[in-house]
Amino acid sequence: MSAQPAPAPLLIACALGIEHLALRTGDRGGAGGPFSVVRTGMGPKAAERSVNRLLAEPALADAAVLATGFCAGLAPGMHPGDLVVAEETRDPHGTVPCVGTDLLVKELVRILPGRTVHTGPVTGSDHVVRGHERSDLLATGAIAVDMESAATLLSAVRAGERPVAAVRVVVDAPEHELVRIGTVRGGISAFRVLRTVLPAFFEWHRSLLLPRR
């Protein structure tokens, strides 16, 4: 009998040290295969460099990639601690459709009952977005913005065909702008939510490992 091929790993990418801390110290139960949680550094250029370097490693060459961390909500009524599951990521360099959005929403709702989960396009920026820029981005149809998701997923699919997704936690929103993450209630709420999300990512990864029809 021929040996079964090793399952494709899962690469979970975040940018900030506080995001990495939340994921590293959170619930890691239920992994369906090999996974890595990596910190890319802040901004699209850092994300692009890091993802390209990581996916060049033989062990991660065919990895599924999921971008996560904090984001700024764009739509009225969003609150710190809300979750955003991207239907696609976009920036001036390209648009990347996400895979398994419905499953991620289902698992996040199960893990965090009562927590609001938003779905829609997530746009990229090379700087922190505030004030009128949020309204301008909302007018494009995007529901959230961050600096790394779009660059992470675009780099991932350019390196080879693979499943990709992005899940973000709202750290500030139009009515709840933060000055510094982690120093006010919104940042603390987002940190606590981010600590709980890994099992949903593992279930998403497990679904990708199932035989395809």
Each residue's pLDDT, cut to its tens digit, for the chain (213 residues) gives 444 455 689 999 999 999 999 999 887 776 767 899 999 999 999 999 999 999 999 999 999 999 999 999 998 889 899 999 999 999 999 999 999 999 999 999 999 999 999 999 999 998 887 777 888 888 899 999 999 999 999 999 999 999 999 999 999 876 555 544 444 455 788 899 999 999 999 999 998 865 443
DSSP the chain: -PPPPPPPPEEEEE-SHHHHHHHHHS--TT--S-EEEEE--SSHHHHHHHHHHHHTSGGGTT-EEEEEEEEEE-STT--TT-EEEEEEEEETTEEEE-S-HHHHHHHHHHHSTT--EEEEEEEE-SS---THHHHHHHTTT-SEEESSHHHHHHHHHHTSS--EEEEEEEEE-TTS--SSTTSSHHHHHHHHHHTT-HHHHHHHHHHHHSPP-
Residue extents of the structural domains in the chain: 10-209
Six token digits for residue 151 = 């660059």
Q: In whole angstroms, how far apart are CA 157 and each of 39, 95, 117, 154, 170?
A: 19, 11, 25, 5, 25
91: enclosing H helix or E strand: strand 83-91
CATH class of 10-209: alpha beta
What pLDDT does 176 receive? 53
Interstrand relation of 94-97 and 83-91 (parallel, antiparallel or unpaired): antiparallel
0.85 exceeded by pTM: yes
What pLDDT does 126 receive? 85
What pLDDT does 146 receive? 95
